[in-house]
Amino acid sequence: MPEKYVERVLLTKDEIQKRVISLGQQISNDYAGKELLLICVLKGAVVFLSDLMREITVPVFIDFMAVSSYGAATESSGIVRILKDLDCSIDNRHCLIVEDIIDTGLTLLYLKENLLSRKPASLKIVTLLDKPDRRRVDIEPDYCGFRIADEFVVGYGLDFNERYRFLPDVCVLGEK
């Protein structure tokens, strides 16, 4: 298998920070007068969640789900497994799924249907990154940080085989 390495920076820490602030303002306006439960999809979205939640001015609650569709591959298998479910009930609550990236959309489609069956007051999706060229199912985020091309990205929470999550920028992974 070819060796992977960090080829270049795609989005700098500063660019990400500016966009996250603006997403926080938009979400705060849209949910004015309401309370919001942020549902973070582990592990990739934790960095985005921790920055985003501090830019939202309405009362926010957080909970976590872990699902796996990738394993050690860079391609989605299409098989989604719940590794960790929510701790809280979402019945009649305003919920926002927080994702780091939407690729094929298979993970999110599964999550959305699963969560809707629990009767939330509303359910929306925010993603830091969207790769629309890779979509295999009909699903769109309600809020999106950046639309990116079909390149494998790491950093700001995103990994390759659990590596590179700590990088402050979003970087493109290349092959040697």
Q: List contacts with ligand PRP (CB under 6 A).
A: 41-44, 68-70, 76, 99-108, 159
Q: Which is nearer to ligand PRP, 45 or 60 (CB)?
A: 45
- Rounded Cα gap, residues 163 and 155, in angstroms: 9
Residues annotated catalytic, as ranges: 103
Query: Residue 31 or 48: which CB sits closer to ligand PRP?
Result: 48
Q: Please, what's the largest Cα pairwise distance for the chain?
A: 53
Query: What are the residues whose beta carbons fall under 8 Å from the beta carbon of 89, sequence distance 6 or more?
Result: 118
Query: Per DSSP, what are the bridge partners of residue 62?
Result: 38
Report the residue number, 57 or 161, with the smaller CB distance to ligand PRP: 161
> C-beta of 169: minimal distance to ligand PRP in Å?
17
Least distance to ligand PRP from the beta carbon of 101, Å? 5
Phi then psi for 75, rounded to 5 degrees? -110, 145
